[in-house]
Amino acid sequence: MCGIAGAVSFVEDMREDMKIYENMQHALLRRGPDQRGMFMSREAALIHTRLAVIDIDGGRQPMSFGKYTIIYNGELYNTEELRSELCGDFGFDTRSDTEVVLKSYIKWGSSCVEHFNGIFAFAVYDRQESRVFLARDRIGVKPLFYHDTGKKLIFASELPALLEHTDVPREIDEHGAAELLLIAPGRTPGCGVLRGVEEVRPGWCGYYSAEGLHLWEYWRLKAYELHESFEQTAERVRELVFDSIRRQLTSDVPVCTFLSGGLDSSLISSVAASELKKQGRRLSTFSVDYRDNDKYFQKSRFQPDSDPEYITCMAEYLGTDHHWVVVDTPELMAALDEATEARGLPGMADVDASLLLLCREIKKYGTVALSGECADEIFGGYPWYRDKDIRMTDGFPWAQSTAYRKRFLCDDFAERIDAEDYVYSAYRNTADSAERLSSDTPLESRMREMTELNFKWFMQTLLDRKDRMSMYSGLEVRVPFCDYRIAEYLYNVPWEYKDYMGREKGLLREAMKEWLPEKVLWRKKSPYPKTHNPAFLEAVTAKLRSILDRGECRLTGLVKREELERLLRHEDRVQWYGQLMNLPQTIAFFIQLDHWLEHFDIKPRLS
């Protein structure tokens, strides 16, 4: 796991910007605190910072072989199979997956990505052909942003590193304003929010050469007929999930797991504990809670019960070395700014901040952690999959607040943005892109749309959050449910199977029932925990009040002051995003937006 960055041009000498490259590398040190390296030529500057996980001594980067040089951020889970397949063509000097990726590219060219099972973003420079190959993993776990000036391509794992290059504009136009106020903390696929900044999309790759940048989609969810009984399907799910978890336990450094007491993290922890026990090792598990949450917790439709009793149940059931990280309001407030800097954008407020604090503590014990993200998107766990009214609503099911959100756009931007059209067009384009079969019933067709929407939008927001908050402390987080084989298969499993016994993720529960105690196996879904302490609402209200009272601020160059004042009066309690962003988180989002504008020196600019 690493940070990568670079600049490529076939008309300018890349060696003249050394100080800029050093600044870009410095901005990535949190992602890769163990080693750093740089490759320089007239055409290309390739920058790397490394978090050493596999073959600590042998996996240094940039790595060259013949005319090729690679910088790579990721982890392959089929490294050994690929090395065996390639050994007839190449010798290997290291045990690292970086060397396998490089030699896979040399053998197969751009189609190498079709051979990989893993999470990755990488660049390979071919100095003989004068071109660079860029690629990102199928699911989008690892990030890769870029800016094309017309004369050079600048790229980086994170926006803060990209912004260190002086040719990247620190500006947002009306498109960026629409993303921040109508879509955030989500992002339109491929959008980097800043003017002229884009992101290589999940499952895309391509070349940059003197002819320019040409990217294409190499993978997407495909529809096919599945003729299997429920029992056969459950067996296949069991095989895929177990194999994915087992593969992702490979590491030369300590591995641990997140444990929320919910189905997904509990399953991963159970399999991981079993596998480590075979090696005579004990699994370490980690959970987050909030000071006085037991006092203030109020159950809701989305969060029917709190986590601690289920976490305790699982930790005792598995016999793990369990660690609690208890967060109080002052810590959350202090971490809001750090979380913004880590994400490179305003995000999910205290939900981001608490994860950042949790990852910081986990890093004290291990370098690799497994997490349960993406099971809900793939197995249909969210309420909007199962509520008949919500799932048939024409629009993003997690964000039905466009009319409310557009009120915050200041007049200059509001005049140029058709809010309803911006959001609805984005929704419709994605829903219409879902691949279907002519034999699909209306329900199956809609559920394919729901999967595509969640896969390309909501899931990406959570993956952004997990990558940035963890890598900010040099912690690698792996997500076994993001194995593309699981996603491909489940896209074609009938909804009635996924909804087994009328329960969210009923198929997954049945398939893995031998791995969990009944109490946890059939626990109703509960989202990532957030603080219920009223002190947090008081604190964010006071903080935003102080921002507005300081006079001129960049926030009010983008957001209407009168709407922020209204927000501070707590007159509206509109769900901002998903299940977790209510009034306190909406206020905190604007605090993060203000810090982002100031910290990164971002200026609103009408095009």
Q: What is the pLDDT of residue 532?
A: 81
> Can you give the pTM of this predicted structure?
0.96
Q: How far is CA 594 from CA 99, 189, 346, 403, 546, in A?
A: 43, 24, 9, 22, 12
Which stretches of 344-458 are DSSP H helices? Answer: 350-362, 375-379, 383-386, 388-391, 402-405, 411-414, 419-433, 442-453
Q: What is the pLDDT of residue 301?
A: 62
Per-block average pLDDT, block size 10, for the chain (607 residues)? 93 93 96 92 96 78 96 96 94 93 98 98 97 98 97 98 97 97 97 98 98 98 97 98 95 91 96 95 95 74 74 96 96 97 97 96 94 95 89 89 95 95 97 97 96 97 97 96 98 97 95 96 82 92 96 91 96 87 95 98 90
312-315, long-range: CB within 8 Å, 24+ apart, which pairs?
312/261, 313/261, 313/517, 313/519, 313/520, 314/259, 314/261, 314/266, 314/269, 314/270, 314/285, 314/516, 314/517, 314/520, 315/259, 315/285
Residues 247, 482: Cα–Cα separation, whole Å: 12
If you count them, how many residues does the chain have? 607
Nearest to 235 by CA among 502, 514, 495, 479: 514
SS3 state at 594? helix
Q: What is the pLDDT of residue 51?
A: 85
**What's the one-letter identity of residue 251?**
S
Q: Among all residues, which ones are annotated catalytic?
A: 2
Segments of 173-329 assigned E as strands = 197-199, 204-209, 212-217, 255-258, 284-290, 321-327
Nearest to 54 by CA among 310, 307, 249: 249
Instruction: Kindly write down the DSSP assignment for every residue of 279-317, as one continuous string.
Output: TT---EEEEEEETTHHHH----SS--S-SHHHHHHHHHH
Q: What is the pLDDT of residue 362?
A: 96
Segments of 44-188 assigned E as strands = 44-50, 63-65, 68-76, 118-126, 131-136, 145-148, 152-156, 171-172
